[in-house]
Structure 1
Amino acid sequence: MKKLLELTKGSRLLYILSILAIGVATYISMLEPMVIKITIDSIIGNEPMNLPSFLQDIIKAIGGRNALREKLWICAISLVLLTSLRGIFLYFKGKLSTLASENIARKTRIKLYDHIQNLPYRYHVNAESGDLIQRCTSDVETVRKFFSIQMVEIGRAFFIVALSIFIMASLNVKMTIIAMVTVPIIFVASYIFFNSVRHTFENADKQEGALTSILEQNLSGVRVVKAFGREEFEIEKFEKENAKYRDLSFKVSNVLATYWATSDFICTVQIGLVLIFGIYYAVKGDISLGTLVVFNTYEGMLLWPIRQLGRILSDMGKMTVSLKRITNILDEEVEKENGKALKPDIKGEISFENVSFEYEKDAEVLKNISFKVKKGATVAIVGATGSGKSSLVHLLLRLYDYKSGSIKIDGIELSDISRKWIRSKIGIVLQEPFLYSRTVKENIKISKLDAEDNEIIRAASMAAVHKVITSFDRGYDTIVGEKGVTLSGGQRQRVAIARTLINKFPILVFDDSLSAVDAETDKIIRGKLQEKSKDVTTFIIAHRISTVKDADEIIVLNHGKVEAIGKHDELINKDGIYKRIWDIQNSSEINNEEKFA
């Protein structure tokens, strides 16, 4: 209820007005059978008119009962006017409730998107994007539908039940008791149904999320699927999960069908009881014919919201499941500043002192890492896969916080610097860069939206991709496709480098971001970087020795520890990982030269 109230904040007035509108519409709908009763009993028949004084004055002004008897069309027009007036209030009910529910859905989507953007990196590493998409779309839509339709229907049901019982009791108490005899049974059936459908829908909703995840992963990795001829395998996997979703959805439909069949039978029995006892009492003279018509009409009105309770509870069950899945995201703690959140002027002098880090308890990835980097220096980090190279960069960006030790930038403890601030001062190019399905120009400008064309061209030239771009039919206005699928791996990396270089970052990080370019292009880019980065601290993570050999300092990692620090000439003369990599790569290059000589 607390979450529901939070969602309705800002839309409560609209809901109050909507419920008032449905209340008036319901009251008018209750008057319509009374017009029929008066017409049958007091205008066509001779029963006395028990009407408010203002209505009796109106009838006298028309000419009394005899005049109405001669002009029955006046009664018909009264019904038409009441129906039209009811329709107007129903229109306002629909408009107001729809406006309120759309506002709630919009606010929920914005809140979800904003919250997801501010969740820690660790959360996104473990989360399934397909499931998150399903929660932000399908689950939000389920909540919206409930607020749009069933929220107001609850008010309508309350008004109908209250007014029906009140009016029927005022006409005949015995008939009212008969009209209510099966209502407790329907309530019990609705409660059982609610518990059943909620659990069933929760399973179906989870399976839909799993199905969405498979679809999203398959579409994202379609090139891998095609390359390895895994179409049949992926189809079978999808069909298997789709069959599970079908079975769960069918189970939901089964529960719904059982409830509707049961409630229809009970309602039919209830209407039959009212009709049988009503005819009996009418023949005896205990009630009038008009009263029988009114009870029969009100019974239909009374049973509809009670029967509708099942649909309300069904949608409420779905909504509570969807709301729970939404709030599970919103309850996740956003990334917090656990230090002083300083915003110092970043120049680029960095020091690591006995830094240790672990993703999981008692499984250290980095162990007592210590080194210093001067402002404007180029530092290379090499090591075997899993040695902790990327983890070290993650700490620098504060994607994770170090377990122990100290990282200082310009003498300030990194944990005391604002996360967003330090990330805005570090330009990073990843091995697998993400490009948006926009033009090349827009992708390069994304880190500096106000960049001029000459800045874009200069950045692209530094990344050795300007000539490639101009060779495209539409040049810089070429659409790169989703995730840059229309570009080669090397082209994507170079566009990502240009995107980083267009901004003036005091610290640059290249996380194996030259792996997909050839040796000649690699050399050109490194030359351009050396020209630019005289005052920029640069980290280069690479496996290719030719990429890192000109660095001011090379840090060699081995199983999370610093094995060696030095220049290229020093390291190739010492036994260790670096020398072994150099010997292997140098030997390969010599063999290739001899092969093609």
Structure 2
Amino acid sequence: MGPVFLGVCGKPADFEARCAMEQESKLRLFFQLLKGQKLKFILAMVAVAVTSLVGLLPQQVIRFTVDAVIGGEAFPLPGYLQGIYDLLGGRSTFLSNLWLCGVLMLLIYLVNSVFSFLRARLASSASETSIKKLRDRLYDRLSHMPYATHVNANTGDLLQRCSSDVETVRRFMAVQLVELTRTVCTLGFALFLMLGMNVPMTLISLIVVLPLFGFSLWFYKVVRKTFKAVDEAEGRLSTVMQENLTGVRVVRAFGQEKQEMEKFDGASGEFVDNSYRMMLNLSTFWGVTDFLIYLQIAITTVAGCYFAYTGAITVGMLISFSGYITTLLWPVRQLGRLLSDLGKTFVSLTRISEVLHEPVEEDAPGALTPTIRGDVRFEHVSLSYDDEERQVLKNVSFSVKAGQTIGILGATGSGKSSLVQLMQRLYDPTEGAIYIDGIDIRTMQRKWLRKNVGIVLQEPFLYSRSIMENIRITDPDKEREEVMKVAKIAQIDSLAREFDGGFETLVGERGVTLSGGQQQRVAIARMLLQDAPIMIFDDSLSALDTETDAAIRKALNENKRDRTTFIISHRVTTLFELDKILVMEEGRIVQEGTHQELLQEEGPYKAVWDIYGKLETEASMGGAQN
């Protein structure tokens, strides 16, 4: 996203203030995600604590069986358990019925399973509900961001923030937060039980714990660069694949299959190399930590045997220590990774928070929804993008009466598209004002304004749906007869008959199965179905042949019903019959009038018309000779 989000945390120079705001934003966002789900998370943490404690009890049952039941040694039981033990008959009953110890183990595992289920159910429910709200918030924010933000944004980065970063947060809330709690609880409960059995043996059993934790934490901090390299390589691989799939017609048309295959092979090789490097690092980590764990198990076993031989501990304690050390060391090894993942989660929260703090389009208080007839007036309108000094539009003024059809002619970059985009408030003018029916459009609701000002872009976007669904997007409730009417005006009815599925034919992603002209006709029908009093054709007849262009303009003229129409075109033949023509150069209107009026004065319009007439004459002479 880059520069688009610098506004969230201030200028780069304000580094300390920016960091403080980022820290506050991500923490605030995290607690906002917990809102409404705190009870579930608390209960999930309680369930984790119970499973952690209950998971350690089998070792105590084994110790009790070996020492108290079989060995006959005293075993310190809590008062209420001692009462139950005596009530059942004490040692003699358990010694003659050792299966009771097995039943006790099964009951412990049953309790553990029940609380494990509750933990998973509660954590999953809370995290999925929280993440759904987060996704909805992100989509809502993206839908209401200013048009300029989307123009300047990197779409791939936005998608990554809304997918990969959200998934990172979801995984942390559903899994890693629970695992972190489990590790802390297991360490605490295990140390409590081990210290209660024998302090020196406990200290010996923890010799490798701190080095293991430190190495794990250091390793995952270092290896994050490798993880990032793998993610970036995968992103480049996906980009190459997406570009090739989207531009398959261009690749085939220019015979670039071999070159694109080489590009894909290079990206794939880079991904494999980075993945191999990551796996090599992980293999090293698992190997080193496995050695440390087994070293600790060996130290604990040797020390335990010695203490048991000298009578410092019992055999049951030796077995319990052996079990606990294994239970302790594996979570400790994971603790480093969990803390590293916590850092990744905070990075993701920061990136998501930046999107959620982007400004949105807001209507003025008491915004109007007036009935629109179609009178349009520009008064001294100027426009600059992103506070640039260069003005795209310079002091533009003109007026249009409702029902008129206006042509706009100009070279590429003269400001034609910017002019009509202002009418939908995709941008607001930096100077001057635009009035529709005498009302400043900045006082109108944007949604209402855009409902009444329809636009067809030069490069229309079609969804991967049927022709009928693409036309009905502006008003899904319209009757089929009304769709057929606008389809006929846009000359799309004959096209639909060429397909076996007719209007139910799927057009593919971005309308890839249709030609550029066919896509424009579908987009024109879609806008006509909107039935807006003001219509804008932003060079949206450029991909049509002359005959279809003329047929659509004729049908539009017959069905315009006092609608104000703006047509941008590079073809003077498209514009010469219109009520008024605006000629633009470098952001200014340099000529204004009808076709006949503009031919009477020297200027760009007459020059273009003369060139067109000369080409027509040459074409006619060439045809006669043939």
Task: Tell me the TM-score normalised to structure 2 length.
Answer: 0.90
Instruction: List aligned pairs for 1:126-275, cutoff 5 A.
Output: 126-275=152-301
Deviations 1:272-304 (A, max 9, x none): 222222112111111111111111111111212
1:561 aligns with 2:588: yes
8 Å contact kept, 1:440–1:476: yes
Q: Given the superposition, is the C-alpha separation of residues 245 and 346 from structure 1 closer, same or farther in structure 2, using an over 3 Å criterion?
A: farther
Instruction: List aligned pairs for 1:353-392, cutoff 5 A.
Output: 353-360=379-386, 361-392=388-419
Aligned partners of 1:564, 1:218: CA distance in 2, in Å? Answer: 44
Give 1:537's aligned residue: 564
8 Å contact kept, 1:131–1:212: no
Q: Provide the identity percentage.
A: 45
Give 1:512's aligned residue: 539
Aligned partners of 2:155, 2:315: CA distance in 1, in Å? Answer: 65
- Aligned-partner SS, 1:538: strand
Aligned partners of 1:408, 1:188: CA distance in 2, in Å? Answer: 68
8 Å contact kept, 1:431–1:514: yes
Aligned pair partner of 1:306 in 332, 335, 339: 332
- Aligned-partner SS, 2:392: strand
Give 1:40's aligned residue: 66
Letter in 2 for 1:542: S
Q: In terms of mean alpha carbon deviation, does 194-203 or 153-162 score higher?
A: 194-203
Aligned pair partner of 1:453 in 480, 484, 489: 480
Give 1:10's aligned residue: 36
8 Å contact kept, 1:131–1:213: no
Q: Given the superposition, is the C-alpha separation of residues 210 and 114 from structure 1 closer, same or farther in structure 2, using an over 3 Å criterion?
A: farther
- Aligned-partner SS, 1:472: coil
- Aligned-partner SS, 1:502: helix
Letter in 2 for 1:304: W
Aligned partners of 1:557, 1:387: CA distance in 2, in Å? Answer: 6
> How many corresponding residue pairs?
597
Aligned partners of 2:72, 2:182: CA distance in 1, in Å? Answer: 35
- Aligned-partner SS, 2:454: strand
Aligned partners of 2:509, 2:45: CA distance in 1, in Å? Answer: 46
- Aligned-partner SS, 1:447: coil
Aligned pair partner of 2:604 in 577, 580, 587: 577
Q: Given the superposition, is the C-alpha separation of residues 247 and 508 from structure 1 closer, same or farther in structure 2, using an over 3 Å criterion?
A: same
Deviation at 1:206, TM superposition (A): 4.1
Deviations 1:140-163 (A, max 9, x none): 333322222211111111211111
Aligned partners of 2:235, 2:349: CA distance in 1, in Å? Answer: 14
Give 2:573's aligned residue: 546
- Aligned-partner SS, 2:429: coil
8 Å contact kept, 1:351–1:407: yes
8 Å contact kept, 2:168–2:345: yes
Deviation at 1:541, TM superposition (A): 0.2
Give 1:406's aligned residue: 433
Deviations 1:317-337 (A, max 9, x none): 443444344333333222334
Aligned partners of 1:472, 1:180: CA distance in 2, in Å? Answer: 75
Aligned partners of 1:129, 1:592: CA distance in 2, in Å? Answer: 46
Deviation at 1:357, TM superposition (A): 1.1
Give 1:395's aligned residue: 422
Letter in 2 for 1:556: V
Aligned pair partner of 1:80 in 98, 103, 106: 106
Deviation at 1:340, TM superposition (A): 5.9
Q: In terms of mean alpha carbon deviation, does 572-581 or 506-515 score higher?
A: 572-581
Give 1:319's aligned residue: 345
Q: In terms of mean alpha carbon deviation, does 542-551 or 200-209 score higher?
A: 200-209
Deviations 1:79-104 (A, max 9, x none): 12211221222122222222223223
Q: In terms of mean alpha carbon deviation, does 184-193 or 440-449 score higher?
A: 184-193
Aligned pair partner of 1:287 in 291, 313, 335: 313
Deviation at 1:255, TM superposition (A): 4.1
- Aligned-partner SS, 2:384: strand
8 Å contact kept, 1:353–1:371: yes
- Aligned-partner SS, 1:74: helix
Letter in 1 for 2:133: K
Letter in 2 for 1:277: A
Gaps of 5+ in 2: 1-26
Q: In terms of mean alpha carbon deviation, does 154-163 or 305-314 score higher?
A: 305-314
Aligned partners of 1:536, 1:9: CA distance in 2, in Å? Answer: 50
- Aligned-partner SS, 1:48: coil
Give 2:51's aligned residue: 25
Give 1:343's aligned residue: 369
Task: Tell me the TM-score normalised to structure 1 length.
Answer: 0.94
Deviation at 1:359, TM superposition (A): 2.0
Give 1:472's aligned residue: 499
- Aligned-partner SS, 1:341: coil
Aligned pair partner of 2:464 in 405, 430, 437: 437
8 Å contact kept, 1:186–1:266: yes
Deviation at 1:233, TM superposition (A): 3.0
- Aligned-partner SS, 2:178: helix
Aligned partners of 2:269, 2:604: CA distance in 1, in Å? Answer: 51
Q: In terms of mean alpha carbon deviation, does 299-308 or 139-148 score higher?
A: 139-148
Deviations 1:21-47 (A, max 9, x none): 121122212211111111111111121
1:501 aligns with 2:520: no
Deviations 1:390-429 (A, max 9, x none): 1111111111121112222222222222222211111111
Aligned pair partner of 2:453 in 426, 429, 445: 426
1:95 aligns with 2:115: no
Q: Given the superposition, is the C-alpha separation of residues 200 and 326 from structure 1 closer, same or farther in structure 2, using an over 3 Å criterion?
A: farther
Aligned pair partner of 1:69 in 95, 99, 123: 95
8 Å contact kept, 2:217–2:340: no
Q: Given the superposition, is the C-alpha separation of residues 126 and 251 from structure 1 closer, same or farther in structure 2, using an over 3 Å criterion?
A: farther
Q: Given the superposition, is the C-alpha separation of residues 231 and 334 from structure 1 closer, same or farther in structure 2, using an over 3 Å criterion?
A: farther
Gaps of 5+ in 1: none
8 Å contact kept, 1:197–1:314: no
Aligned partners of 2:276, 2:597: CA distance in 1, in Å? Answer: 70
Give 1:487's aligned residue: 514
Q: In terms of mean alpha carbon deviation, does 229-238 or 581-590 score higher?
A: 229-238
- Aligned-partner SS, 1:161: helix
Aligned partners of 2:68, 2:622: CA distance in 1, in Å? Answer: 113
Aligned partners of 1:251, 1:134: CA distance in 2, in Å? Answer: 24
Aligned partners of 1:577, 1:382: CA distance in 2, in Å? Answer: 9
Letter in 1 for 2:373: K
Aligned partners of 2:602, 2:38: CA distance in 1, in Å? Answer: 73
8 Å contact kept, 1:383–1:558: yes
Deviations 1:422-447 (A, max 9, x none): 11111111111111121211111111
- Aligned-partner SS, 1:343: coil
Aligned partners of 1:454, 1:113: CA distance in 2, in Å? Answer: 34
8 Å contact kept, 2:45–2:119: yes
Give 1:330's aligned residue: 356
Aligned partners of 1:338, 1:225: CA distance in 2, in Å? Answer: 48
CA RMSD of aligned residues (A): 2.1
- Aligned-partner SS, 1:10: coil
Deviations 1:497-556 (A, max 9, x none): 111112220110001111122222222211221222242111000011111111111000
Deviation at 1:569, TM superposition (A): 0.9
- Aligned-partner SS, 1:436: coil
- Aligned-partner SS, 2:562: coil
- Aligned-partner SS, 2:458: coil
Q: Given the superposition, is the C-alpha separation of residues 323 and 211 from structure 1 closer, same or farther in structure 2, using an over 3 Å criterion?
A: farther
